[in-house]
Amino acid sequence: MVDPRPVLIVTGLVQEARIAAGPGMAVVCSASDPQQLRALLTVLDPATIRGVISFGVAGGLDPSLKSGDVVVATEVMAGDARWLAGLSLNEQQIAGIALGRRRVVRGSLVGAEEVVAGLSFKAALRSETGAAAVDMESHIAAAYAAENGLPFAALRVISDPATRALPALARNAIKPNGDIDLRKIMRGIARNPRTLRALVSTGIDFNRALKSLRGCRSFLLGNEGLVPAEI
């Protein structure tokens, strides 16, 4: 029999949540706040879902990855903890995700409690972990899945690549609901017009990542290959 319970989709931004939403999906959005995500998961009954998928954008650590490239996680790490991320994609599924010139790679993700923005911090994290990308939700989602014996997988699209620093104004303009505070960005540009160029580049990267993420929604629909996460 087909399990009628939804799959829990863990996102950090409202744009990611909107892409993921649909039949068979129960979506939570952390607003890029790890503690808020933990609080949301605390009140969620794990018996009501059949698996967990971390889905959204990420910061690139592998210098070869560009904005819009897709990382299908093989594992997620945070400190000394490691969790397997299990979803077996066949060549047809990978080809479907790769439409539109999206590059799809398998690699590890590292979890962070705050945005990793600077080039030196990205390089150090890459050297320390060997991870392809970093985000602030996957390690929490993986831990929740493992604690409750649920299958887990993760797909993340590179937004800010390893070769680009994320402007402070961009990362500080996220509202509690996960949306972007455009007024705050405009006020910041008015105070310091030199930030405009970096923000434009960041916006282009982010929009490219979201477009790529929309093309990856089939990943959420083909989740029968989920396997339980392990530490």
pLDDT digits (tens, 9 = 90+) for 101-153: 668 888 999 999 998 888 999 999 999 999 999 999 999 999 999 999 999 99
pLDDT in tens, 184-196: 777 766 777 667 6
pLDDT in tens, 182-228: 777 777 667 776 676 666 777 788 889 999 999 888 777 665 445 45
| Nearest-angstrom CA–CA distance, 85 and 155 | 9
Predicted structure pTM score = 0.84
Residue that the structure tokens 């929604």 belong to = 217
Asked if the model's pLDDT at residue 66 lies above 80, the reply is yes
Q: 105 with 72: CB under 8 angstroms?
A: yes
Residues 6+ apart with CB under 8 A from 25: 6, 7, 9, 220
Asked if the model's pLDDT at residue 230 lies above 70, the reply is no
Give the mean pLDDT of the chain.
84
| Nearest-angstrom CA–CA distance, 227 and 144 | 14
Percent of the chain predicted with pLDDT > 90: 58
| Nearest-angstrom CA–CA distance, 111 and 40 | 18
**Structural domains for the chain:** 7-166+206-228 (3.40.50.1580)
